[in-house]
Amino acid sequence: MMKKLKLMLATFVAAGMLFTSCSKDEPSEPSVNEEVASISIGALLNDLVNDNRQAISEEIPECSDGTPMYAWVVLTHEMGTEDVVVPILFDGTTYFTDYDDDLEIPIPADQTTTAVSLTKFMVYAEEPGEGISPIWVAPTDEGEYKNFVNDALPIDFDLRAGSKKYLDVEVLCFDDRDVNLYGYQFFDLIPIELYEFCVFANYCLDSGRHYTANYTLDIDYLRGDQVINLYSDKSPVTGNTADDNTGDWYADPLCLAIPAPMYDEADTDDYLRVTVTLADWDDNYGTPGAEQPKIIYLSWNDIQAYFGDNQTIDYEHIFFNCGDDPTQDCPVTPEDTDGDCIPNEEDICPGYDDSDDMDEDGVPDGCDTCPEDAGDPLDGGCPIQDCTGDADSDGLNDCIDECPYQAGPESNDGCPEPGGDTCETAYMEGDTPLNTLANANRWGWAEHYQTSVEGSSETFDIWAGAGQNDTSKGEHIGTAEITVAGDDISLVITLDPGKSLDDLHINLSEAAPSGNAVFAPGQYNLNDEVSQGTLTYTWERTYSEDFYIIIHAVACY
């Protein structure tokens, strides 16, 4: 048998200045200010539904036995928004709101009227708060229940200064099982404590390469056979780590508010369904292959498992086409652009997963020149005998270096000078680790000199033997003072007492160096202009104020 739809007629009252007849005795109110229009709301419960309206739906909300006590009203106008909860009075015939200063709408200066829009109207049996739902709701034109009223919200009208206005607003009885049909956001109608739930995703090519993924997300509340939609088509904020889009693409974790079980579900019952659908991303991975949406069912126990220590939240990590045992466990962010859970400043192999190391030589596969043959980390992951590198960075290939692990001058076959001196590779300590500029596990630094940061002059330390850029293991050799004056860049190297240079290599460029311009000191672009016996230089440049400089030396002490 069909349910009988009950509508409530809420009479939105704005009395004219000279109205002498009303349907109820008005309560005592302050006199109307000529610069405002005063508003009160009356609600009259009526059985307004005929058989034709009943035929539209069998699932019409029935009324509760609650007595109207408060109304939540939101009005927008030319000078702002009024969001107010006011008590409801009853004169024996009609329910109406008590007088409230917030329901006096200001009229703009030099005008006699203002445009007003009623955007929210709900009636409560007790003062609204956490866990308190309305008993009557005026549906909006965004919900299916708009079909059961003559004029769904928002209702637009004009108010004249110094007046009141009568406006009928039809409302429906509220049933939380039909929460989405009224046209409001779920949590506007169900005010309960909320918890944060966060998602991020990766997409993998068939080759195994990982990308941070773009996606859409839906969350539904499962109440028995009924599905209540909480969120639809939500997407993460995406971007690039560089303003000119030359950096890494990332998607921020998407975090949404979700409720604990609301309808006596057990902690082990699945009550939320999360659906994540992979989306195109032209600038990143393009159009992916056909991937089925990922669907996750969550109980309250599952939700609580995301809660970490110190009020932190763990993420739900979604993988598309990444196999059964994906290696990435963290979201791709500007601080961890390859998603391997290692911050960029500590990353051995930026852009790749540090845990991938087939030959187990300590050099991640993405930066290992010989990924299948165990080698020396200082030689790019290759065996010394392969003649592929310069383990001690003294400028001599390992195959002709008599001391491949000790830096020394070419005049002594790559070995430290005799006489007890120790000679080691040295670099000026800048702000950019070399292994962030090229894929190799080598220590050293470049300096991205920015006059807006460093000013016209800055002094930097020079360190020898500081493997893995750990200066606590190195020897301080001296300092390098860089000065910028107009188009000139000047360098003054000052050595500590008892320190000397056996080799000196310098690379200077406008753009960030890469490849051999990073890890092959013998190919640095200013080598023809420098020598270990000269410690003061000036170069003229033709580019912007910012530049990159690498200073490499073999220092003896």
Mean pLDDT of all residues in 246-268: 88
Residues 397 and 475 in one domain: yes
Do 136 and 236 reside in the same domain of the chain? no
pLDDT of residue 331: 63
Q: Look at the alpha carbons of 413, 415, 416, 420 in this order and tell me if their dihedral is positive or negative.
A: negative
Instruction: Pick the last residue of a domain from 126, 155, 185.
Output: 185
Alpha carbons 142 and 221: distance in angstroms, whole number:
20
Predicted local confidence at residue 46, as pLDDT = 36
Considering only 69-73, 247-251, 419-423, 463-467, which range has the smallest mean pLDDT?
A: 419-423
Residue type present at position 388: T
State whether 402 and 517 are in the same domain.
Answer: yes
pLDDT in tens, 32-63: 445 777 776 655 443 433 333 333 344 456 67
Which pLDDT value is given to residue 56? 36
pLDDT tens for residues 331-370?
Answer: 666 677 666 677 777 777 776 777 777 777 777 877 777 7
pLDDT at 341: 74
* Cβ atoms 218, 274 nearer than 8 A: yes
Instruction: Flag whether 218 is in a domain.
Output: yes
* 168 within a domain of the structure (yes/no): yes
Quote the number of domains for the chain.
Answer: 3
The stretch 201-214 carries a mean pLDDT of 83
* Per-residue confidence (pLDDT) for residue 119, from 0 to 100: 92
Average the pLDDT over each of 124-138, 150-164, 348-362 and give the range with the smallest value: 348-362
Q: What is the pLDDT of residue 551?
A: 95
pLDDT in tens, 379-414: 667 776 666 667 666 777 777 777 766 667 777 777
Give the pLDDT mean for 514-542.
83
Judge if 308 and 449 occupy the same domain: no
Contacts 24+ apart (CB under 8 A), 484-488: 484/449, 484/451, 484/456, 484/457, 484/545, 485/456, 487/540, 487/541, 487/542, 488/538, 488/539, 488/540, 488/541
Give the CATH number, domain containing residue 297: 2.60.40
Question: Are residues 11 and 113 located together in one domain of the fold?
Answer: yes
- Regarding whether 165 and 86 lie in a shared domain, the answer is yes
* Percent share of the chain, pLDDT over 70: 78
Residue 100 within any structural domain of the chain:
yes
pLDDT at 512: 86
> Of the candidates 289, 320, 351, which is a domain's last residue?
320
Three-class DSSP category at 509: strand
Q: Is residue 340 part of a domain?
A: no
Per-residue pLDDT, averaged over 424-428, amounts to 91
The answer as to whether 464 is a domain residue is yes
Q: Would 328 be classed as within a structural domain? A: no
Model confidence band, residue 487 (pLDDT cutoffs 50, 70, 90): confident
* Bigger pLDDT: 320 vs 358: 320
Residues 296 and 166 in one domain: no
Tokens of 389: 């590198």
Does some domain include residue 215?
Answer: yes
Structural domain ending residue among the three candidates 274, 290, 320: 320
At residue 220, the pLDDT reads: 93
90-110 mean pLDDT? 81
Range of the domain at 470: 389-556
Contacting residues for 379 by C-beta, under 8 A, at least 6 apart: 388, 389, 390, 391, 398, 404
**Does 308 lie in the same domain as 406?**
no
516 pLDDT more than 70 = no
Longest dimension (CA), the chain: 115
Quick one: 313 and 259 in the same domain? yes
pLDDT at position 47 is 40
3-state secondary structure of 386: helix
Percent of the chain with pLDDT over 90: 21
Residues 310 and 433 grouped into a single domain: no
Looking at the fold, whether 179 and 44 belong to one and the same domain comes out as yes
| 436 located within any domain | yes
Torsion of CA 357, 360, 364, 367, to 10 degrees: -110
- Mean pLDDT, to the nearest integer, of 212-234? 91
- Do 89 and 222 belong together in one domain? no
